[in-house]
Amino acid sequence: MIGSQIDTIAAIATPPGEGALAVLRLSGKQALCIADSVFQSPSGRKPSEVPSHTVHYGHVVREGKIIDEVLLTVFRSPRTFTTEDTVEISGHGGPLVARLVLETLLAAGARLAEPGEFTQRAFLHGRLDLAQAEAVVDLIHARTELALESAHGQLAGRLSEAVQSVRDQLLHVLAHIEAHLDFPDEDIAPHSEAEMVGRISEARQALEELLRTAPEGQVLRQGLRTAILGRPNAGKSSLMNRLLGQDRTIVSPIPGTTRDTVEETANLGGVPVTLIDTAGLRATDDPVEAEGVRRSEAAAREADLILLVIDGSRALEPSDLEQWERHRQRPNLVLLNKCDLPVLAEVPTDMKFIRISGMTGEGMETLKESIREFVWSGERRWTPSSVAISARHADALRRTLEGADRTLDTLQGGIGLELAAFELRGALGAVGEIVGETTTDDLLDSIFSQFCLGK
């Protein structure tokens, strides 16, 4: 479990480096007292004497010396992010001055916050459930508008409501089973058993609908890892620059210019796509180029999608067909590049391809649409009004679904109510992990360690 909840914590909440502003956060029972000891305003009023949600001009002072000219905002419990007394200090954005203000707060009695500790306190104090707390990270890391909409929906409680509906169905069944266990002489009426089976079946359907959004959720959060493969000078770097809309990689008529993998994320119709430009695939005695080829092959193995680039202005070489055969069982798109030049390549009749030009941009919209169709598998199951679950949520939901299935088997097979109750409790424990109804310290540490300092 992250730090003691008794301590008053402080951290710089803005990114490191120079900027216009640096914001520091202070939260805990002693937040106002600590602020009183370091803040001086022209009016003479102390932070503990001012109304909640008000901003005040003054200076942060340590041992009589002015550290920074700041604006200080007071948020009184419980109407704060953590539900504790909170103070935010906005000062100048230099790394030195921000660090000195932080050191002043620590010297006055605060403890340096650990990653995610402010949000963890919001969860522990009941302001957010665990799914909503995770959405804070998704919101910060969102790289496209679709990812942002997904994070906003989860933060608003959309996933929590869906999970709670499943929990309510399962809890209702468990209550019926336990009532019959308390009065073993009374048999379960047929209509009661049918109702329990019906409720579990409804819960199963909701679980399956949530699980269907797992692939989209992974893409929205982590991006679609897409390796651009092909022999030297096929136009891989030109394609990457075209998709990014900027000159990210070096383009040269000299084969073998790219010696290492280059990664950058592009927003293709709301889908975050991590493009990986790779070294040209060919046999070589150059040890540096050979290492680049090895890394290209490794990138291909780890990719979610492969873009195989073929130079359409030249006759196909054996290496083109070899790469196509090697990767044709993997998710891939074959791109016949340089279609702005006379096409000399004769491709096999069963090779489906998209004609493009990395130089002119021809075919780019078709390529982008093909990538979007790959992500949504021809049918976009996730919409801004639904949820897109994470890998952790998917694991918990699968265990819930398995427990629900075993409960159905025991009820319908007449195996025994004790076993049905046992399986149902396990299912409820698994689904409760999503919103934090059932947690362990290791789980919380794993989740909140992903946050940045000050959040």
Closest listed residue to residue 433, CA positions, set 122, 114, 134, 115: 134
Sheet of strand 21-27: strand arrangement: 39-40, 54-62, 65-75, 86-92, 21-27, 9-12, 111-112
pLDDT for position 114: 92
**pLDDT value for 353:** 86
Average predicted confidence (pLDDT) for the chain: 84
Residue 247 is predicted with a pLDDT of: 63
Crossing angle between the packed helical segments 417-435 and 130-141, to the nearest 10 degrees: 40
> What's the whole-number mean pLDDT along residues 237-256?
67
Q: Domain spanning 133-209+390-435 has what CATH number?
A: 1.20.120.430
What was the pLDDT predicted at 45?
94
Q: For residues 156 and 142, what is the distance between their CA atoms, to the nearest angstrom?
A: 16
Which pLDDT does position 259 carry in this prediction? 47
CA angle 369–374–377, rounded 5-degree value:
115
CA angle at residue 156 from 126 to 403, to 5 degrees?
A: 75
Query: 9-124, what's its fold?
Result: Gyrase A; domain 2 (3.30.1360)
Pick from 140-144, 303-307, 397-401 the range whose average pLDDT is largest: 397-401
Q: For the chain, give every domain's residue range.
A: 9-124, 133-209+390-435, 220-376
Say which residues have a Cβ less than 8 Å from residue 217's Cβ, sequence separation at least 6. 150, 382, 387, 388, 389, 390, 391, 393, 394
Residue 249 reports pLDDT greater than 60:
no
Per-residue model confidence (pLDDT) at position 73? 97
Distance CA 450, CA 115 (A): 7
Which pLDDT score is estimated for 12? 94
Domain 220-376 has CATH 3.30.365.10: no
Q: Which residue has the tokens 């790289």?
A: 143
pLDDT > 90 in the chain, percent: 36
pLDDT tens column, 376-427: 764 444 555 567 788 899 999 999 999 999 998 888 877 778 888 899 999 9
Each residue's pLDDT tens digit, 37-62: 999 999 999 999 999 999 999 999 99
Q: What is the pLDDT of residue 178?
A: 84
